[in-house]
């Protein structure tokens, strides 16, 4: 793959930021969008726009076909056995909340356990806190190693016959660690628990096969993988989706409606109450086409290569702390760091002044920040349109930040 060619598909890179070309290193927050996705959205609204699953007219059929075709694309992308196991949602947060409301709250009771690491994004943490409050179940945290990795023996020790849910990110949005989901799934299943996987940082960046992972649920967002905002996915095993109750009730999701009770459609449609996210889903389908054309294995290699290069470059600079796996250890395409003595907000402002966009803050992972002993950090994340020059631009901008604050602070 050639990122210089890929960049030509992304109109955003024509933007000049504070007099400098854009160096976008915040794809873990949201990715940029290629022309091919924007054009599909435009074409949908111009030539296919209609409500789905109800119109007998021609446009209704076109929209329904395009929407269900997008579901097929998602299913193939994550190797789901059937497209009926793909629910369109608003994003990772909504997907996980739907599991919490429609499954966990109905199934869990006093004495049950939910096992999770303290490094989870708030979206895979707070829904479980709420389930625990509502059902009397208990949250049980896995210990983290210094580099943020999780040892399987600790998972073995934590997961018991009382465990009903193991919740874990495939890839940490702060540390870039890649968790051994298949091994953890096996431990969960041996103990009669299900496993819920937050794929927000893995599905966009590496090949993901839900059957190989043997995960019971997988949640991810479209906007982090070249798709539009407002669309995400909930994948579930067939039997679990059958057991699970809808979260939203109303139009579209019903089978027969009587005055005092009603029945639902089958999954996935029973989970898609109201007019669904039609354009979003179609846009996500176009994003998947784009990613497939480049190849997920190539993208994974490219992102990890840039992250490794950044770890190497930043680790050699004085006054910079890099968090997460050590150089040479597996790491996804992101690097979290701090410039000693300078608040990450100040670092990000200096970087922005030369066009380098990074995330600064707690990354929706406050418990992890406390474990790291920092209030917040800066994070650079890479994607298929980033280059080695971007890594160099980051390093040079950090040198400028050091000089600036060194001079200013004296």
Partner 1 sequence: MQLDELYRQVIMDHYQNPRNQGRLSDEAISVDLRNPSCGDEISLQMMVENGVVKDVRFKGSGCSISMASASMMTDAIKGKTIAEALELSREFREMVKGNEVDLDQLGELESLQGVSKFPARIKCATLAWQALERAADTDAVH
Residues that bind partner 1 (CB under 8 A): 18-19, 342-346, 349-350, 353, 360-362, 366, 369, 375-376, 404-405, 408-410
Cα(128)–Cα(214) distance, integer angstroms: 21
CB-nearer residue toward partner 1: 141 or 404: 404
In this structure, what token pair is assigned to residue 86? 């793909």
Q: How are beta strands 194-198 and 163-169 bridged, if at all?
A: parallel
Look-up of token digits 């997920």: 296
Closest contact distance (angstroms) between CB of 337 and partner 1 is 16
Closest contact distance (angstroms) between CB of 64 and partner 1 is 40
CB-nearer residue toward partner 1: 144 or 347: 347
Q: What number of residues does the chain have? A: 410
CB-nearer residue toward partner 1: 60 or 361: 361
CB-nearer residue toward partner 1: 97 or 376: 376
Closest contact distance (angstroms) between CB of 150 and partner 1 is 24
5 by Cβ neighbours in 10 Å (0-12 / 13-18 / 19+) ranks as exposed
Among 383, 287, 356, smallest CA distance to 7 is for: 383
DSSP H/E element including 313: helix 296-315
Cα(115)–Cα(152) distance, integer angstroms: 13
Closest contact distance (angstroms) between CB of 126 and partner 1 is 13
CB-nearer residue toward partner 1: 49 or 366: 366
Three-state secondary-structure class, residue 119: coil
Q: How are beta strands 163-169 and 320-323 bridged, if at all?
A: unpaired
Closest contact distance (angstroms) between CB of 374 and partner 1 is 9
Q: Which of 165, 188, 218, 364 is catalytic?
A: 364
Beta carbons within 10 angstroms of residue 349's beta carbon: 13
Q: Does 215 participate in catalysis according to the annotation?
A: no
> Which amino acids are annotated catalytic?
364
């Amino acid at each position: 793959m050639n990122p210089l060619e890929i960049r030509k598909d992304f109109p955003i890179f024509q933007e000049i930021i504070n007099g400098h070309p854009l160096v976008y290193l915040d794809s873990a927050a949201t990715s940029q969008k290629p022309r091919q996705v924007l054009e599909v959205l435009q074409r949908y609204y111009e030539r296919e726009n209609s409500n789905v699953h109800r119109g007998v007219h021609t446009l209704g059929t076109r929209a329904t076909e395009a929407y269900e075709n997008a579901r097929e694309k998602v299913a193939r992308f994550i190797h789901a056995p059937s497209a009926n196991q793909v629910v369109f949602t608003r994003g990772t947060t909504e997907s996980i909340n739907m599991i919490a409301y429609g499954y966990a709250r109905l199934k869990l009771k006093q004495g049950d356990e939910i096992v999770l690491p303290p490094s989870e994004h708030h979206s895979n943490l707070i829904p479980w806190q709420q389930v625990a409050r509502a059902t009397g179940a208990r949250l049980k945290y896995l210990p983290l190693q210094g580099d943020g990795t999780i040892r399987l023996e600790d998972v073995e020790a934590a997961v018991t016959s009382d465990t009903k849910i193991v919740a874990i990110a495939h890839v940490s949005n702060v540390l870039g660690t890649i968790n051994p989901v298949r091994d953890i799934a096996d431990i969960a299943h041996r103990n009669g628990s299900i496993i819920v996987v937050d794929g927000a940082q893995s599905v966009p960046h590496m090949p993901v096969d839900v059957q190989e992972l043997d995960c019971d649920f997988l949640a991810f967002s479209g906007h982090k993988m070249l798709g539009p905002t407002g669309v995400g996915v909930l994948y579930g095993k067939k039997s679990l989706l059958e057991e699970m109750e809808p979260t939203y009730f109303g139009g579209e999701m019903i089978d027969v409606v009587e005055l005092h009770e009603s029945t639902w459609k089958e999954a996935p449609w029973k989970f898609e109450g109201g007019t669904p996210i039609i354009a979003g889903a179609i846009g996500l389908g176009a994003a998947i086409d784009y990613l497939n054309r480049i190849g997920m294995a190539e993208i994974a290699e490219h992102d990890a290569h840039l992250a490794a290069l950044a770890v190497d470059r930043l680790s050699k600079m004085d006054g910079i702390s890099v968090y997460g796996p050590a150089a040479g250890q597996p790491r996804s395409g992101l690097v979290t760091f701090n410039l000693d003595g300078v608040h990450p907000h100040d670092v990000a402002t200096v970087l922005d002044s030369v066009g380098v966009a990074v995330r600064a803050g707690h990354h929706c992972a406050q418990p992890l920040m406390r474990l790291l002993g920092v209030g917040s950090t800066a994070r650079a994340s890479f994607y298929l349109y980033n280059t080695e020059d971007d890594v160099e631009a980051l390093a040079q901008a950090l040198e400028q930040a050091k000089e600036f604050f060194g001079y200013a602070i004296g």
